Amino acid sequence: MPAFNTLRIDKDPRQPRIARLLLNRPECLNAISDDMPAEIRAAVEWAGNDDEVHVIVVEGAGKGFAAATTWRPAPSSTSSTPASRRPCPGTPCVTTAR
């Protein structure tokens, strides 16, 4: 199985025709980070190369499936963060609610 920073993918042990892709950033309600799209693509390619896999089920770790995307102000930005954006606990990112 491939190793990723923001997600996991495995075949379901009871139903090997199913691959389970888990978005694994529960501290940010699985907000899509800069790295996540490439990791999702690699995970889908991994499943696509396995003749036994016919279905990919996408799940989210923790209490949220996927909150939004990770937002980071531009380095030159001097504006304050709008109240609708909340910091992700334990990370330097801010998530947007759309």
pLDDT at 98 over 90: no
d(CA 32, CA 30): 6
DSSP state, residue 32: B
Q: What is the pLDDT of residue 65?
A: 84
- pLDDT per position as a tens digit, 16-62: 999 999 999 999 899 888 899 999 999 999 999 999 999 999 999 99
